[in-house]
Amino acid sequence: MYDFKFKEKYDVNDLVEIMKILRGENGCPWDREQDHKSIRKNFLEETYEVLEAIDAEDASLLREELGDVLLQVVFHSQMEAEKGVFDFSDVADEVCKKLIERHPHVFGEISVENSGEVLKNWDNIKQASKGQETYTDTLKSVPKILPALMKSYKIGQRAKRAGMDFKSELDAFEALESEVGELKKALDGKCRSEIEDELGDVLFSAVNVARKLEIDPEECLSKACEKFIKRFAETENLIRPQGIDMKTLGINELDVYWRLAKQKLAEKNKGQ
């Protein structure tokens, strides 16, 4: 039994100590068995739960989910501490030094006029600290593991810094239309690899349109998904009372119900 002191209120140091105990010889078998890869997805899931709490504007839920993310940081740090590589204090030390270094207008003598200059300085300092000598280096540094929409948005933003960007939203949209035309031609050719290539170009071009409009494509697509679910549910609600299974209807019949569902939802929204 560990000599653990129970408290009314714990802090981050207690969290680090609890994780040491859980990973210790007489701790929790499950916690001892884990490595970075085995709990890799947990980190991602906890992060998404934080985002969900933010969207729900639920402060108590946000507090809980932020704690779960912090737990993941401490968990991974303890694994490295056991190998003598680094510990949680090293993680905190490094991020503190990074914040000080990248805010010379706060901790140094540099003056800035607005947040735009702040971001420009941040990017320049980051590029220098990571040894990125070319614009291509900055594009390659975008994490490959990012969701594709987020990744393509970041790549477009970094290409913009090198002057490679559309002059306007209209130019970006015209490029999207051109890519759609190329996809149609590829469909006629029925070559799967070519179709996949052209479809990728369409998606990348759509993200460029979003970027020029200053719209987050990830959030935009998420909203579209939720809208589709609502319309689908309303369509099914119109069909089920008639004792009909949706899958027995043809696409033209379903489309009639779909249009009715859109109309009903639009009327509901007007009444709110």
pLDDT digits (tens, 9 = 90+) for 90-128: 999 999 999 999 998 889 888 888 888 888 888 888 888
Q: Which residue has the higher pLDDT, 59 or 26?
A: 59
Model confidence at 239, pLDDT cuts 50, 70, 90, reads very high
The CATH classification number of 12-100 equals 1.10.287.1080
Question: How do the domains of the chain map onto residue ranges?
Answer: 12-100, 219-271
- Alpha-carbon distance of 7 to 10, in angstroms, equals 6
Q: Is 0.85 topped by the overall pTM? A: no
CB atoms closer than 10 angstroms to residue 270: 7
If you average pLDDT over every residue of the chain, what do you get?
92
Return d(Cα 81, Cα 237) in angstroms, integer: 56
Alpha helices, DSSP H, located in 86-141: 88-101, 104-107, 115-129, 135-140
The structure tokens listed for 75 are: 């968990």
